[in-house]
């Protein structure tokens, strides 16, 4: 297959979905309208996509649910094997906010000499607010205007919702770690980027919409310190386990201490939920012990 050429090189989009939906249709339509052409590799488990996807989309079937990390690893390998210079990572419920999104990311990567560049993630129903905050001036900032005033945020990114990544990066730091399954693979990817000192960051000139995680936020010090508590036990287990694993694997002493202080406050004092606290401790302990064979109960 010959990928569409551009002044910036060729681009393949790695898209992951667990089942075909209207979100995927909307994303594929937005990708087809980008000012820079690309080819999409769509990993779709459980349900098959419509037979007519169009010439710019290749369906990469999976008979099982690989999780977020494994699914993205599979999609990235498919995109890399096409020979693309750049891999654009995209979750199924994410969507570029305008037709210049990809071109803006490419231009920023070239001008700033970046190996990875991420867009800002905004809420679909409230695009002036960020779906996930940035720490700016010691404050957790959700206001798009405030974040845009910064211009460029180095060494931080939300990678699997619109990050543009040079192909060579994956040969230097590897693919998303499929052992993490869901909730934690992006943090692992960012920490590996920092360890290898590859240049990356977030440009506030490009926007991608994605449903916000506001309902998962538990404030410890309002506006400054917060923790995330996913809304189902299934997601909580993997999120907490992976935080424990990442704290040990990447020697994140500050993260470990903050978790050991903040999660008891969040779950026992703020939410008064002993069952959630027991799940947190079991999952976090599993992660600290590199226990990947356990499952949520």
What is the structure's pLDDT at 49? 67
d(CA 153, CA 202): 5
pLDDT confidence bin for 164, thresholds 50/70/90: very high
Instruction: Give the mean pLDDT of 220-244.
Output: 95
Phi, psi of 143 (to 5 degrees): -80, 120
Domain 11-209 grouped into CATH 2.40.50.140: no
Instruction: Answer yes or no: are the C-beta atoms of 1 and 82 closer than 8 Å.
Output: yes
Average pLDDT over residues 100-105: 97
Which of the 8 DSSP states describes residue 163?
A: -
Distance CA 48, CA 140 (A): 40
Residue with tokens 């180095």: 154
Q: Any idea what DSSP says for residue 19?
A: S
| pLDDT(17) > 90 | no
**Alpha-carbon separation of residue 143 from 74, 137, 214 (angstroms):** 35, 13, 13
Band of residue 50 on the pLDDT scale cut at 50, 70, 90: low
Q: Is the pLDDT of residue 208 over 90?
A: yes
What residues does 59 pair with on adjacent strands?
Answer: 42
Task: Indicate yes or no: pTM above 0.95.
Answer: no
> Per the structure block, which two tokens stand in for 278?
């027991």
pLDDT recorded at residue 1: 62
Return residue ranges of the chain for CATH 3.90.550.60.
Answer: 11-209
138 vs 268: CA distance, rounded Å: 26
Q: What's the average model confidence in pLDDT over 73-94?
A: 93
Q: pLDDT at position 293, please?
A: 86
Strands 86-91 and 225-228: unpaired
Cα of 53 vs its chain's centroid, Å: 25
Local confidence band at 23 (pLDDT 50, 70, 90 cut-offs): confident
């Amino acid at each position: 297959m010959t990928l569409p050429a551009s002044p910036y090189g060729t681009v393949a989009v790695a898209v992951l979905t667990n089942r075909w939906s209207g979100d995927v249709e909307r994303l594929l339509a937005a990708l087809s309208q980008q000012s820079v052409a690309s080819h999409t590799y769509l990993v779709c488990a459980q349900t098959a996509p419509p037979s007519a996807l169009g010439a710019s989309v290749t369906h990469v079937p999976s008979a099982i649910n690989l999780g977020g990390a494994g699914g993205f690893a599979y999609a990235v390998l498919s995109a890399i094997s096409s020979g693309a210079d750049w891999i654009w990572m995209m979750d199924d419920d994410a969507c570029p906010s305008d037709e210049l999104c990809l071109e803006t990311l490419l231009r920023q990567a070239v001008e700033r000499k970046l190996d990875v560049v991420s867009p800002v993630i905004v809420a679909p129903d409230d695009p002036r607010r960020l779906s996930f905050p940035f720490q700016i001036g010691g404050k957790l900032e959700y206001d798009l205007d405030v974040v845009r005033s910064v211009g460029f945020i180095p060494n931080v990114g939300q990678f699997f919702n619109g990050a543009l990544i040079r192909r060579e990066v994956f040969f230097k730091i590897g693919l998303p770690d499929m052992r993490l399954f869901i909730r934690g693979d992006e943090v692992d990817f960012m920490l590996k980027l920092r360890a290898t000192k590859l240049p990356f960051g977030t440009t506030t000139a490009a926007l991608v919409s994605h449903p916000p995680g506001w309902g998962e936020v538990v404030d410890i010090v309002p506006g400054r310190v917060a923790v995330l508590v996913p809304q189902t036990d299934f997601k909580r287990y993997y999120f907490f386990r992976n935080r424990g694993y990442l704290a040990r694997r990447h020697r994140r002493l500050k993260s470990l201490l903050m978790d050991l202080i903040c999660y008891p406050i969040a779950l026992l004092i703020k939410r008064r939920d002993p069952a959630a606290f027991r799940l947190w401790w079991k999952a976090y302990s599993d992660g600290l012990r590199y226990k990947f064979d356990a499952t949520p109960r």
